[in-house]
Structure formats: C-alpha cells, structure tokens
Amino acid sequence: MVKVIYVAKDGTRTEVKAQVGDTVMQTALDNDVAGIVGECGGSMMCATCHCYVDDAWTDAAGPRKDGEDDMLDCAADEVKETSRLSCQIQLTPELNGLVVHLPEDQV
C-alpha cells in the first residue's frame, strides 16, 4: 500500500491508500475523489484525468509518456509544465506520499 494525496483547487486535501500498480486516475475514482473523471478508462483518449504533479514529486513521477502531450493540449483547464494524465502515472513504492493537484475543470 502507498499513500496518495489529492489537493483540490480550493485547497482541500484528500489522503487515500492505494495499491502499487494502480494508476493515480483509478485510485481517485476508487476513492471518490472529485475532480478526476477518467472517462475513457485510461486509454489516453479523453484528457479528463488531468492533474498537476506537486513540484516535489515531478522527478519521481517521471516524464510524460508518448502521446500525453497531444492529449493535454486539449485538457479543459490550463496546462502547466507539471501537467500529467493521471491514468498514465502508475504507482510504485517510490511514489509513496505522492501529492497531485487537481484542476478546476475536466470536461
């Protein structure tokens, strides 16, 4: 089990326990974290799982995957350097304590 912290636009922090191997998107849905939609089920088709990786965690989370840039281009909210598709971040033991920030809009 690892810990993931979701920070909503208004600052609300939701801390959840997650399974190594699950994605940050799936973990959010499983725990009813508002702010992640994940419409395409992680097929990199919808960009409704947009999140901003906290500055302290960008290295651990790794770079964007192939194709993520193009999808993010069309995310509903502002795209920053730390923007990722949360369905493309798979949890590893190294990501225990990961903090991601959520955009206001996903659709």
Q: Interface with ligand FES by CB under 6 A: which range of 10-18, 41-49, 59-67, 90-98?
A: 41-49
Q: How buried is 79 (Cβ within 10 angstroms: 0-12 exposed, 13-18 middle, 19+ buried)?
A: middle
Transcribe 20-71 into DSSP letters: TTSBHHHHHHHTT-TT---TTSSSS-S--SEEEE-GGGHHHH-SPPTTHHHH
Q: Mark residues 6-45: x for contact with another protein by CB under 8 A, - for none.
A: -----------------------xx-x-x----xxx-xxx
Which residue's CB is nearer to ligand FES, number 49 or number 102?
49
Length of the chain: 107
In the complex, least distance from residue 5 CB atom to ligand FES, rounded to whole angstroms: 19
Which residue's CB is nearer to another protein, number 43 or number 63?
43
Which residue's CB is nearer to another protein, number 57 or number 90?
90
Degrees to nearest 5, angle at CA 99 with 53 and 96: 115
The residues that touch ligand FES, with contacts defined as CB under 6 A, are 25, 38-40, 42, 44-49, 71, 85, 87
